[in-house]
Structure 1
Amino acid sequence: MKKQRLIKNITDQIKEAQMKLGFVRESIRLYFPWDSFMVLLGETLEEEGSGIHSEDKLFPADGNCSETERKKQKRRILNELNGSAGFGTGGLGQVSFRESRGRVEVTIPPEGAEYVHREISDPPFLKAVIELFGTSHNPSVDDVCACFAEFSPDYVCCKIQDNDFDYVLYFQDEEIDPYYYCIKMEMGHTVYHRFIKEDYEKLVG
């Protein structure tokens, strides 16, 4: 499994919450759909009967994966991540993983929240986005585009058809910010939600 992308996503989510709400030294729980969780680990969990595919060949792709086998494979992932040689301690502390209502519940201890607050700098672009949405309840799409343009002219802004969101914006250069920002405008309020690329592609079909 490739854990670095998952670690980065967990850190990014904690940082975003702290920038919006402030820092509190307490445990944090994050919830991931299994598909998203597997993507972040560089794995793919297929539907029943399709087999399991893994770049690291962690699971056999025999084309005959039963519901019971898939549960075992999920449990194997969680056990490996929770093991002493799994996710590790690092700056986030002893992170724990369990399945909860069909999702993966990730619990970060208080020292992990403090580590992110103390050691991880506020991403400049995310700071600008939060300030934009914090100072105005209904920024226009032009306002959001202007925020992107301050950091690079090479960004994409597209109207989303037949979806809960109205627009999506993202940078061509993922080094600036790798997320896809989906914008919803409704009843005088504008909100954003950011997705990893794979989750956005699944969202729009």
Structure 2
Amino acid sequence: MESDMIREEAYQLLEKNVIDTIHEWQVKLGYTEEMIRIYYNRDSLEHLVKLSLPTVVEAKEFLIDWRETVKDRLGKVHLSNKEERFCIGVPADGTKYVYEKKKESTFLTDLMKVLKEPSCTIEQILGVFKKQSPNVVCEKVTGEEFDYVIYYEDYALDSFRYCFSFGQMGAFYHRFSEYDYQTIR
């Protein structure tokens, strides 16, 4: 019984990550009703869903089972892999579901507006984050390709690490899971 609950939580974590990733792409690139492919390395997937998936076979089995739990929302998800790199292809009806579900969400839209300003500052970026919650961590990064990393103390609000750089072309960001952020440092 407990393992069923753990597995269900793992499915929810992956679904949330997939939806959040599609939403980010839709905000950045605009909404189109087409398949979107998201890639996960086995170790990142394992960390994300908080399950032990030590082999490619176990990761595939997990994804096949997960696909069944999301079909009513995301449609017939396509799965493939090349060794330890997995592709989750969310079909057009799934990307439409994400668009409809998240279109009222303003955080990323507000962030993109601020980043488009040529004189964008870290204070303006922090202002966008603090609209959702005042409990934001902003760290100056030295010796990295990024200038700042910003994230929420409450991972339930948003579990990503947002890494910002400022240069001649303006400000830009990359978003990572906590695990992936730690692996690139």
The runs of 4+ residues in structure 1 deviating greater than 6 Å are none
1:100 paired to 2:97: no
1:74 paired to 2:62: no
Of 29, 35, 50, 1:27 maps to 35
Report if the CA contact (8 A) 1:3-1:40 is conserved.
no
1:87 paired to 2:67: yes
Paired residues, number: 175
The corresponding residue for 2:26 is 18
The corresponding residue for 2:3 is none
1:41 paired to 2:82: no
Report if the CA contact (8 A) 2:160-2:176 is conserved.
yes
Q: Supply the RMSD in Å over aligned alpha carbons.
A: 2.1
The corresponding residue for 2:170 is 189
The corresponding residue for 1:125 is 107
Q: Deviations over 1:141-197 (max 9, x none)?
A: 122122223333321111112221110111223343322111012223211111222
Letter in 2 for 1:87: R
Once the two structures are overlaid, the 10-residue window that deviates more, 86-95 or 6-15, is 86-95
The corresponding residue for 1:65 is none
The corresponding residue for 2:154 is 173
Shift, 1:101, TM fit: 6.5
TM-score under structure 2 normalisation? 0.82
Of 132, 136, 150, 1:151 maps to 132
Report if the CA contact (8 A) 1:31-1:103 is conserved.
yes
Q: Deviations over 1:110-161 (max 9, x none)?
A: 1111111123344332222122123x14512122122223333321111112
Shift, 1:96, TM fit: 2.2
Letter in 1 for 2:22: I
Gaps of 5+ in 1: 46-51, 53-72
The corresponding residue for 1:160 is 141
CA distance in 2, matches of 1:7, 1:170: 21
Compare the two structures and name the one with the higher helix fraction. Answer: 2
Residue 160 to residue 8, structure 1, CA distance change in 2 (3 Å): same
CA distance in 2, matches of 1:22, 1:97: 24
Percentage of matched positions with identical amino acids: 29
1:9 paired to 2:17: yes
CA distance in 2, matches of 1:87, 1:191: 33
